[in-house]
Structure 1
Amino acid sequence: MDRDWGEPLDLDAVAAVAGYSRYHFVRAFKAAYGETPGQYLSRRRIERAQEMLRTADLTVTEICGLVGFSSLGTFSTRFKSQTGLTPSEYRARHVGRGAALIPGCFALLYAGAFPGRGQRNTEEAG
């Protein structure tokens, strides 16, 4: 879940890798980490979004999709619940403290937002 935080969570697949049924995995995960796998993943995604809001010149909508949320409303609600600020308020409070934002195109490339890009280059070379 930490490696593929931007991808949709397939709880059955994660549980199978752990050798548990879906329901036993959720109980064991909550006992070990104090939150469900969904809550954990949401928290990690918001943490990634915080980093992007501080460092990348991307819109809130772009960041929402990059961190794995399909709904801007859900993203904004969870972000505010976790940080106490909306994504825009968070950015306004944390940007401009001596560091320039990374251009959006570089941030998108780094985040893997251009799927198939490497494949096209391989085909052109061959």
Structure 2
Amino acid sequence: MDRDYAEPLDVPALARAAHMSPGHFSRSFRAAFGETPYSYLMTRRIERAKALLRRGDLSVTEVCCAVGCTSLGSFSSRFTELVGESPSAYRARRHEEGAAVPACVAKIFTRPVRNAEPVGAAEPVGNGEPVGNGEPVGNGEPVRNGEAQRAARP
């Protein structure tokens, strides 16, 4: 996925390559990487799109196609969700301050992260210890950061 991010990848094809069923592959992938295969792929595509947009010689549509997205609307929505600004606004902004930083280092600090679903945000908690805002949760329900805590069920 990291190397072939611009190719039309889907879970059944990836699962076949890994000799797994699609469901098992998706569950194993999420357990290992903390996000779904599709979300991981889109993050890689957005990372590459950011690099192409910083160069400034391609239009947003050209960048969308170059990273393997087929819908400009979906690309723009996901880019805005992960980066916090539209692809056009990102392209128009100055990027000279990071030009001296090696790409391998910049990639670590500029990796898009979805605010709505941090890694490990849906881990079951069943030991009654305080979570999030300090309220104890002892019913084994998944707890998501930022959401209201559910009361324990009888």
CA displacement 1:64-102 (0-9 Å, x = unmatched)? 00101111100000000000010011111134x387xxx
Moved over 2 A (4+): none
Aligned pair 1:93/2:93, yes or no? yes
Unaligned runs of 5+ in 2: 100-154
TM-score, scaled to structure 2: 0.60
Shift of 1:56: 4.3
Tell me the percent identity.
Answer: 56
Instruction: Work out the CA distance in 2 between the residues paired with 1:46 and 1:93.
Output: 16
Aligned residues between the structures: 98
Structure with higher RCO (Cα < 8 A, 6+ apart): 1
* Rounded Cα–Cα distance in structure 1 between residues aligned with 2:11 and 2:34: 17
Q: Could you tell me which amino acid in structure 2 is paired with residue 80 of structure 1?
A: T
For residues 5 and 24 of structure 2, the distance between their equivalents in structure 1, rounded to whole angstroms, comes to 22
Tell me the equivalent position of 1:62.
62
CA RMSD of aligned residues (A): 1.5
Residues 1-126 of structure 1 mapped to structure 2, 5 A cutoff: 1-95=1-95, 97=96
Q: Which has the larger radius of gyration?
A: 2
Q: Which has the higher helix share?
A: 1
Question: 1:49, 1:59 → 2: CA distance?
Answer: 11
